[in-house]
Structure 1
Amino acid sequence: MDHCDSPSTRTREDDASPRAATTLRLLAAPTDAGHSGRVSAGRVLEWIDKAGFAAAAGWSGGYCVTAYVGNVRFSRPVAIGDLVEARARVALTGTTSMHVIVEVSSGAPGGPLEPATTCLMIFVAVDDEGSPRPVPTLEPRTTEGRLLARWTERRKELRELVQRAMEEVEYTGAGTAPRVQLRFLAAPTDVNWGGKVHGGIVMRWIDEAAHVLVTQWTGDDDNVAIFTGGVRFYRPLHIGQVVEVEARLLHTGDHSLHVGVHVRSGDPAAGPGAMELTTYCRTIFVSLDEERRARRTRQWAPVSEEDRELDAHAVELVEIRERFGD
């Protein structure tokens, strides 16, 4: 088992410590492209998870698991051949958790890098048995560090409101909304450093299922994710398990499509009834015209009571975030 101090003897470090931040750099390759020819949102989510994990593992001194990913905003596309920089910084710590802010920038090699994506992640440090273990306490001493810690602290209220709203709705077979379900086996190539499927892979699957759904609804595959939020990881997903990724249309705005995605997994020998919820999130897509502007979306009208509840739920989540100026 990894050695870890008790909470009363944990070391305390400030935000100027080299362990508080990690930067990953890479070139976007042709294999990173989505259907649009640009780097897919799912691939960017993978990079975000790797950078966040590196920062959390460096800070905690051992293995960590992704617990939450929120407020992923895709402000500009990443082109194939771009130099990509993913900077992850520990902004706040709990007893066993680390709140990490990840910023992704990209640009032509040798030129300036421009912001492409930002998000907030929460990691939990675990020991060899998978139990949470204490992490060093972060004490912000720079102005930037204190501002980031206060911003991150304020996000807790938003996260709790979103979580309560998500727990109040049910997804059953009574809904008539368009949906897509992908099923496959988790492969050894999906494994992370702890022997389980890493969060970045799961987020890529989420993006792919949502993309298929939006493409079927719009009749055009030139669509992009502009937001992914409320990504909660309820339990680990193991290599060899059957994975079921279901994307369901929740709401259509004038130019946007709101999609809820559930990831379930289970032992292939146990049958469909043994599938357990692994991850849930909400993502928003837009469809682009020839001039790369968001086109008006074909409207979907809720039919069943469940449809109407989920449609109202998607609108409520937007209103909650707007109240926080998010």
Structure 2
Amino acid sequence: MSATTFDSVSSQAASDRRSEAIHRFLVKPVDAGIAGSVDGGKLLEWIDKVAYAAAAQWSGCYCVTAYVGNIHLDRPIAVGELVELHANLVHTGRTSMHILVSVYSTDPTRKRPVQTAQCLTIFVAVDDNRQTVAVPQWDPTTTLELRRYRQAQARISVRKRIEEAMAAQHYTAEGTAPSATLRFLAAPSDINWGGKVHGGRTMGWIDEAAYVCGADWVGQHVITSYFGGIRFYQPIVIGHIVEVTARLIHTGPRSMHVSVHVTATDTHSDKPALAAHGLAVVVAVDGNGKARPVRQWDPVTEEDRSLEAHARHLVDLRSQVEPFTSASEMPADAEPSHFRAPMPG
């Protein structure tokens, strides 16, 4: 949908707007990552695109990604699988839209899909001058919508506490934890239809940096099992020098918690600006795809210990969040329409 101002569409009744977008396709070999299945960065790119479609068609405006919430990758998605992403509006603020993306995948020869992941995203509507504009308010009507609306509301306070906790941390040269930095120029192929690097591409870089950091620590390939709240602060444009720095801040028995910062610097300036920040949890897997024990990291400096405690605190905060109700928990008429279709034979 082309970008328009809110005023030009405000007369359209909110009830006439679509609050859901669906993308459906087969996974191609080019979509596979190093481990042979779809990696977390590629999945986040897909999520960002379908969520944008839902936000733009509801608001009638160009929208920017502000936040991507917790996402657990429950199972790998293989080449040749049928993937369907459902983006559903679950809450609206004055200028923001909270959109839940549910990811389903299945072998096309099977009758039933498997929900692979769920992820809450927040988009903000902006005008041609990139100023925020009001969006039509959405009201839930079905039982599923009412449940998800309540769950979205409950997450607002927890998300604020998480953002405050992340903003209060300091990452300096005094830290001794393993780290990895990717450095490159933002290319024309990285931008979206609005002329800026799209959020999905930035999240792909976050996933790549977390992979390098985790793989270096354990000495083998790793996969991302979880992304914490990814917050976007500044746009990245073509020609910016992008630095993506991943730093290990905590190890569990079978996992590595990696904090990732993305900065962008104009080539004519020496002042980097924080563009995005998020947390990734990566795991090493055995030949059967099961998480295996990882080498433990012991904090050394005061900064190390502070960040390790911060990682544990984030785990506690996220445990307070109620999962969104999935369509499969509701009556049949609330399930995705495609997968509900009768199968021959």
> What TM-score comes out, normalization by structure 2 length?
0.89
CA offsets 1:63-115 (integer angstroms, 9 cap, x no match) = 10000001111011100111111110111111110000001111112433211
Residue 6 (structure 2) aligned to one of 4, 7, 15? 4
Aligned residue for 1:302? 299
Q: What's the secondary structure of 1:19's corresponding residue?
A: coil
Match of 1:74?
73
Q: Which runs of 5+ in 2 are unaligned?
A: 324-345
Alignment of 1:52-201 (within 5 A): 52-111=51-110, 112-201=112-201
Question: How many residue pairs get matched?
Answer: 320
Q: 1:283 aligns with which of 280, 290, 307?
A: 280
Distance 1:10 1:134, change over 3 A: farther
Deviation at 1:151, TM superposition (A): 0.6
CA RMSD, 1 decimal: 1.7
Q: Answer whether contact 2:6 2:61 (CA < 8 A) is retained.
A: no
Cα separation, 2, equivalents of 1:256 and 1:302 = 16
1:154 aligns to what SS in structure 2? helix
Q: Deviations over 1:205-229 (max 9, x none)?
A: 00000001110001011x2111101
Aligned counterpart, 1:313: 310
Rounded Cα–Cα distance in structure 2 between residues aligned with 1:155 and 1:6: 32
Structure 1: which amino acid aligns with 2:149? A
Question: How many Å apart are 1:13 and its aligned residue?
Answer: 3.0
The one-letter amino acid paired with 2:260 is: V
Aligned runs of 1:203-218 on 2, under 5 Å? 203-218=203-218
Distance in 1, matches of 2:141 and 2:95, equals 21
Residue identity in the other structure for 1:4: F
Whole-angstrom CA distance in 2 between matches of 1:322 and 1:11: 40
- Aligned to 1:137, the other structure's residue is in SS state coil
- CA change 1:319–1:10 in 2 (3 A) is farther
Q: What is the aligned partner in structure 1 of residue 335 from structure 2?
A: none
* Identity in percent: 47
**Post-superposition offset of 1:157:** 1.2
Give distance in 1, aligned partners of 2:11 and 2:168.
38
| Secondary structure in structure 2 of the residue aligned to 1:262 | strand
Aligned to 1:24: 23
Q: Report the residue type matching 1:136 in the other structure.
A: P
Structure-1 separation of matches of 2:136 and 2:238: 31
Cα drift, residue 239 of structure 1: 1.2
Q: Which runs of 4+ in 1 moved over 4 A?
A: 9-12
Return the alpha-carbon distance in structure 1 between the equivalents of residues 149 and 12 of structure 2: 18
Alpha carbons 1:10, 1:137 under 8 Å: kept: no
| Counterpart-to-counterpart distance in 2, 1:312 and 1:290 | 32
Contact 2:65 2:232 in 1 (8 A): yes
2:134 & 2:19 partners in 1: Cα distance? Answer: 16
Q: Give the 3-state SS of the residue equivalent to 1:129 in structure 2.
A: coil
3-state secondary structure, aligned to 1:135: coil
Cα offset for 1:259?
Answer: 0.4
Distance 1:311 1:202 in 2: 25
Note if contact 2:4-2:60 (Cα within 8 Å) is conserved in structure 1. Answer: no
**Structure 1: 5+ residue stretches without partners:** none
Change (3 A) 1:191 1:225: same
Superposed, 1:24-43 pairs within 5 Å as 24-43=23-42
The CA deviation at 1:168 is 1.6
